[in-house]
Amino acid sequence: MPIAPRVKKNWIDIQEKCPVPVNALGVKIDTKDQATLRVWKQEGVDQFVKK
């Protein structure tokens, strides 16, 4: 199920400021949380990690 465009935009804005994977609230995603990481990659948010 795709996430809402407003949520995705907000998530990308937050992710651009963080060097580690974060959820849409700005909290670091635990490496054990495979479901959230899967969505993070499927939605393309992984491309916006601060380098």
What are the extents of the domains in the chain? 5-48
Q: How far does CA 47 lie from the centroid of its chain?
A: 9
* pLDDT of amino acid 6: 95
Q: Tens digits of per-residue pLDDT, 36-47?
A: 999 999 999 999
* pLDDT of amino acid 39: 93
Q: Give yes or no for a contact between 40 and 21, defined as CB atoms under 8 angstroms apart.
A: yes
pLDDT bucket at 9, cuts 50 / 70 / 90: very high
Q: Tens digits of per-residue pLDDT, 16-38?
A: 999 999 999 999 999 999 999 99
* pLDDT of amino acid 43: 93
Structure tokens at 51: 């380098």
